[in-house]
């Protein structure tokens, strides 16, 4: 009906900021990290996922999307040779998330498989400064009168208000802070995949759910403004287009429309490469498109790596 992110913003009481936060941008621009040499490896990795991985002519999206993700994570993980504290991360697949909250007398909840979750031992430090958080008080949430904000949401009788990422992990788990969520749209048929806008909304809702569950586990169930905001990142892709998101939960007081709001930084529709040609396209005996990856954008990979390194570097 209308862009999903706006609806998700109202439901989670969030203010949107375009682009990545300055802390992450600083990691991207930091020359000491040696991101230039990794460009070559990133290009190889993209070629491997899109061109070389299969004995057939061209791999399908169900195959190349997860393979591309695994290869990118492998390059990021290899950085732990340089930064040993990076090894304090653990990937968990098929995590189920459950979080409930009230929003102007409507009870909402997020449930379901939240993609691939990367946990770390230590939390990400807050990205926005104290002034920015207080400044969100003035921000007014967009309403969609006369459309009810819960349009297109499934109404369900909830018998048990479940509220933990402990739904996924038991107590005493050392890697207790959710760091980044990864969403892979790898269905072969285009109609089974989420469109970029819907993918961003899904990322926002699940990041919010994880952050809320973590905040309730740390500070209890009472709604209040958090002194230590909880930060959860999120990356979504369909194999070519990447969406980056950093979400900061500032308050669990979600019933009213005023007061401190949560913040989200979104960098949307970043192409990693223009096209991947498995067989050269020949028109009238002239090669119009040679085989290989064309239009590789190293910045997208740098942002991916920066989001991975955020919190330890």
Residues making up the chain, counted from first to last: 313
Least Å distance, CB 120 to another protein, is 12
Q: List the one residue from 173, 196, 255, 297 that touches another protein (CB under 8 A).
A: 173
Tell me the window of 17-25, 171-179, 198-206, 222-230 that interacts with another protein (CB under 8 A): 171-179
We find the least distance from the C-beta atom of residue 148 to another protein, in angstroms, to be 35
Asked if 250 is part of the footprint of another protein (rule: CB under 8 A), the reply reads no
Closer residue to another protein (CB): 93 or 283: 93
What is the closest distance, in whole angstroms, from the C-beta atom of residue 122 to another protein in the complex?
15
Q: Give, in degrees to the nearest 5, the angle at Cα 111 between 110 and 112.
A: 135
> Does position 277 bind another protein by CB under 8 A?
no
Sign of CA pseudo-dihedral 113, 66, 127, 86: positive
Alpha-carbon gap, residue 214 to 177, rounded angstroms: 7
Within 24-43, the residues that bind another protein by CB under 8 A are 41
DSSP string, 66-114: HHHHHHHHHHHHHGGGT-GGGGSEEEE-S-EEEEEEEETTEEEEEEEE-
Q: Which of 72, 77, 8 is nearest to 45 (CA)?
A: 72
Could you report how far apart the first and last alpha carbons of the chain are, in Å? 41
Q: Rounded to whole angstroms, how far apart are CA atoms 95 and 92?
A: 7
CB atoms within 10 A of CB 157: 4
Nearer to another protein (CB atom), residue 76 or residue 226: 76
Site for another protein (CB under 8 A): which residue of 52, 107, 190, 282?
52
269: contact with another protein by CB under 8 A: no
How many Cα atoms occupy the beta-carbon half-sphere of 252 within 13 Å? 25
Residues 86, 118, 207, 230: which binds another protein (CB under 8 A)? 86
245: nearest Cα among 288, 171, 304: 304
Contact between 175 and another protein by CB under 8 A: the answer reads yes
- Per rule CB under 8 A, is residue 48 in the interface with another protein? yes
Q: How many Å separate Cα 238 from the centre of its chain?
A: 13
Report yes or no: 137 and 258 within 8 Å, Cβ to Cβ: yes
Q: Which is nearer to another protein, 80 or 268 (CB)?
A: 80
Interaction between residue 141 and another protein (CB under 8 A): no
Which member of 92, 141, 217, 241 binds another protein (CB under 8 A)?
Answer: 92
Using CB under 8 A as the binding rule, whether residue 94 contacts another protein is answered as yes
State yes or no: residue 71 binds another protein (CB under 8 A): yes
Residue numbers at the binding site for another protein (CB under 8 A): 41, 44-45, 47-48, 51-55, 66-67, 70-71, 74, 77-78, 80-82, 84, 86-87, 90-96, 167-170, 172-175
């Amino acid at each position: 009906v209308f862009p999903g992110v706006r609806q998700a913003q109202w439901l989670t009481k969030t203010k949107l900021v375009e682009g990545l936060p300055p802390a992450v941008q600083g990691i991207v621009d930091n020359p000491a990290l040696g991101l230039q040499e990794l460009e070559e490896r990133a290009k190889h990795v993209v070629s491997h996922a899109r061109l070389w991985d299969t004995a057939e002519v061209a791999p399908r999206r169900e195959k190349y999307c997860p393979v591309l993700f695994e290869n990118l994570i492998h390059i990021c993980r290899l950085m732990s040779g340089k930064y040993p504290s990076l090894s304090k991360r653990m990937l968990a697949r098929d995590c189920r998330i459950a979080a409930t909250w009230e929003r102007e007398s409507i009870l909402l909840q997020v449930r379901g498989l939240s993609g691939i979750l990367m946990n770390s031992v230590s939390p990400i430090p807050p990205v926005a400064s104290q002034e920015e958080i207080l400044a969100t008080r003035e921000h007014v949430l967009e309403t969609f009168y006369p459309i009810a904000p819960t349009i297109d949401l499934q109404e369900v009788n909830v018998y048990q208000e479940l509220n933990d990422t402990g739904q996924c992990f038991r107590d005493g788990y050392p890697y207790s802070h959710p760091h980044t969520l990864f969403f892979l749209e790898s269905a072969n048929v285009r109609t089974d995949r989420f469109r970029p806008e819907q993918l961003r909304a899904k990322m926002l809702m699940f990041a919010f759910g994880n952050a809320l569950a973590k905040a309730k586990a740390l500070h209890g169930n009472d709604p209040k403004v958090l002194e230590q905001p909880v930060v959860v990142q999120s990356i979504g892709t369909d194999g070519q287009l990447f969406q980056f998101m950093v979400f900061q939960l500032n308050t669990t007081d979600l019933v009213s429309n005023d007061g401190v709001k949560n913040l989200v930084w979104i960098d949307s529709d970043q192409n990693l490469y223009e096209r991947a040609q498995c067989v050269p396209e020949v028109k009238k005996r002239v090669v119009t498109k040679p085989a290989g990856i064309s239009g590789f954008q190293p910045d997208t990979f740098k942002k991916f790596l920066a989001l991975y390194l955020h919190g330890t570097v």
